[in-house]
Structure formats: structure tokens, C-alpha cells
């Protein structure tokens, strides 16, 4: 128990992303309690892979999960938690869903990566309005984000499953663009609920608990509007992991939504804007009434 607690503490150390975590795990490999054998840790299965024992994965899951709840902005911890909890079942289920689809099999064979260079963002911005590519590029520009920030997968042993997790991670912004949900915490929680219903990855379900950190009106809106939407659409939609986004960029986004079975939720940015305007109006009225009374 003492060794496990030390391991959990090391896993959540804040240095350069999770590099220090991986180093701590590798250094501990000499211990008979954590080593794969009495001699050495096995070699990595792909570039960047860090082989972990079951105990190490459990410690990584617990430590990164607790710390990411405290600070949801720590993308490195969320990524580590996702990888540590994806095995032994869930990532294989998602891989099998891709193998069951002709398009999914092509994605696994081609292994495309989603970056600003591979997508040619200037070209996407020049596409006609309401195309998938233009909608995606406009969403990136509006939210001020880039597809180049997704961390590489490190803790999933099977190379093919590691790619499946990488593909899910890099497609996340396409799910944002498809649904129109912004990257504010309220929008992220709603999208994670949708992803959980569609992919069953434990990390996405765990992330929904971040709803408790929302403001009261946001929690009520999530409970009454966005959670029902997420569950309904995530369950009935086709497996979004099987969308070959690179081949859909010039397609009408509404046609793709209909094909997938995804209806956009109420515009969260517009709702939040109206609420801000209403609060501002009420404050002005209150200030005017106070001045008149004086």
C-alpha cells in the first residue's frame, strides 16, 4: 500500500506534462514489486510507448483522475486517465467497432493523422459555407484552438488500439464542430456526455462528473437540456469514430448530421450571450431605480 501511494503521488507530479511521470515509472521498474519480470521491463511496442504493469496503470488512473477533477484544464492528466482506463475492454470494443465498418477498416489501414498541415486549414476556410471543412475551420477560429495540440498516446500496449485512441483524441474537435458546442466547461461536459453514450470510453463518462463544478444555472441547464440531448443523440447516432473526416470536408454538414443521426443541440453560446445581456439589463435598471430614488 505504501509503495502504491508513492507511485500515485509520482504519477500526478506537475513538471513538463507527463514526462516526469513516465520517468518515475521507468525508474521504478527495477523494483520486484512493479517489474514485469525479475530482470527488466519489456521494450516499447511503438515510438513513445511506456509499458506499465497493472498496478502502475491503476495508480496512474487514480492519480490522474483525482487531479484532473481538481484541475479540468490539465489535458495531460485527462489524456493519461483516458489511456489507463481504456483497457482491458473499452478500447478493444472501439477498435472492433471500426473493424466491423468498411470505412473504419480503411481508417485503421491508412492511419491518417489530423493536423493543421494535413487538413490544409487555409483551403478549408475557402470552402463554401455549411460544408464540413468550412464549419470545422470556422469553429477552430471562433474558439481559438488548433488541431496540433493533441498529446500522443503512450500507455496503451497494443499499437492498433493506441492508434484508435489517438484517432478519437484528434477527432474531438470535429465532434465539437458537428454539434456546435463551445469549449467552455459547460460545452465540454455536454460533449463528453455525448461521447460516452457513443464510445463508452470510461474517461468520457468520468468527465461528466465535472458538471458538479458548474454554476447552479449551468448545472440546471445541463440537467434539463444538454444531458438528455447528449444521451439521446449519442446512443442513436452511428459510431462517430468511423467517420473518415478527411473525405467529408466538402460535404454539406447538415447532410452528414442526418446520416449520422446527430441533431445539433440548442446554441449554447447564444443562450449564454442572452443571459449576459439580460443580467446587464437588470443591473442597469437597478442602478437607474437607485439613482431615481436618491
Annotated binding site: 172-173, 176, 188
Residue 197: count other Cβ atoms within 10 Å of its Cβ: 20
Residue 249: count other Cβ atoms within 10 Å of its Cβ: 19
How many whole angstroms separate alpha carbon 223 and alpha carbon 217? Answer: 10
Burial of 229-244, coded b for 16+ CB within 10 Å and e otherwise, reads bbeebbeebebbbbbe
Residues sharing a CB contact under 8 Å with residue 146, sequence separation 6 or more, in sequence order = 116, 140
Q: Which of 114, 155, 148 is nearest to 241 (CA)?
A: 114
Residue 80 grid coordinates: 493519461
How many whole angstroms separate alpha carbon 224 and alpha carbon 228? Answer: 7
Residues of each annotated binding site for Zn(2+): 172-173, 176, 188
Q: For the residues of 129-152, what is the DSSP string, one character each?
A: TTBHHHHHHHHHHHHT--GGGPPP
Locate all alpha helices (DSSP H) within 100-221, ordered by sequence. 102-110, 116-119, 121-125, 132-143, 159-179, 185-199, 202-207, 216-221
Q: Which of 140, 95, 94 is nearest to 119 (CA)?
A: 140
How many whole angstroms separate alpha carbon 116 and alpha carbon 121? Answer: 6
| Sign of CA pseudo-dihedral 6, 11, 15, 19 | positive
How many whole angstroms separate alpha carbon 291 and alpha carbon 286? Answer: 9
Residue 33 grid coordinates: 514489486
How many whole angstroms separate alpha carbon 268 and alpha carbon 180? Answer: 8
Amino acid at each position: 500500500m505504501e509503495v502504491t501511494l508513492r507511485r500515485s503521488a509520482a504519477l500526478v507530479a506537475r513538471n513538463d506534462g507527463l514526462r516526469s511521470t513516465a520517468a518515475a515509472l521507468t525508474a521504478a521498474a527495477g523494483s520486484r514489486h512493479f517489474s514485469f519480470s525479475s530482470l527488466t521491463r519489456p521494450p516499447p511496442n511503438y515510438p513513445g510507448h511506456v509499458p506499465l504493469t497493472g498496478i502502475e496503470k491503476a495508480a496512474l488512473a487514480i492519480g490522474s483522475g483525482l487531479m484532473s477533477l481538481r484541475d479540468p484544464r490539465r489535458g495531460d492528466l485527462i489524456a493519461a486517465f483516458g489511456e489507463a482506463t481504456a483497457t482491458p475492454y473499452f478500447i478493444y470494443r472501439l477498435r472492433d467497432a471500426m473493424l466491423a465498418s468498411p470505412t473504419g477498416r480503411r481508417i485503421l489501414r491508412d492511419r491518417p493523422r489530423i493536423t493543421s498541415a494535413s487538413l490544409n486549414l487555409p483551403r478549408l476556410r475557402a470552402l463554401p459555407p455549411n460544408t464540413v471543412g468550412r464549419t470545422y475551420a470556422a469553429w477552430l477560429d471562433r474558439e481559438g484552438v488548433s488541431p496540433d495540440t493533441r498529446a500522443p498516446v503512450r500507455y496503451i500496449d497494443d499499437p492498433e488500439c493506441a492508434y484508435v485512441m489517438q484517432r478519437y483524441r484528434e477527432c474531438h474537435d470535429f465532434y465539437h464542430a458537428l454539434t456546435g458546442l463551445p469549449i467552455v466547461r459547460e460545452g465540454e461536459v455536454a460533449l463528453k456526455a455525448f461521447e460516452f453514450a457513443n464510445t463508452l470510453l470510461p474517461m468520457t463518462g468520468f468527465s461528466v462528473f465535472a458538471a458538479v463544478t458548474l454554476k447552479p444555472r449551468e448545472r440546471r441547464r445541463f440537467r434539463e437540456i444538454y444531458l438528455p440531448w447528449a444521451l439521446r443523440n449519442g446512443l442513436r447516432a452511428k459510431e462517430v469514430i468511423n467517420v473518415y473526416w478527411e473525405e467529408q470536408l466538402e460535404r454539406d454538414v447538415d447532410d452528414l448530421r442526418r446520416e449520422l443521426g446527430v441533431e445539433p443541440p440548442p446554441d449554447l453560446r447564444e443562450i449564454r450571450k442572452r443571459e449576459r445581456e439580460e443580467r446587464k439589463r437588470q443591473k442597469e435598471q437597478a442602478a437607474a431605480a437607485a439613482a431615481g430614488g436618491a
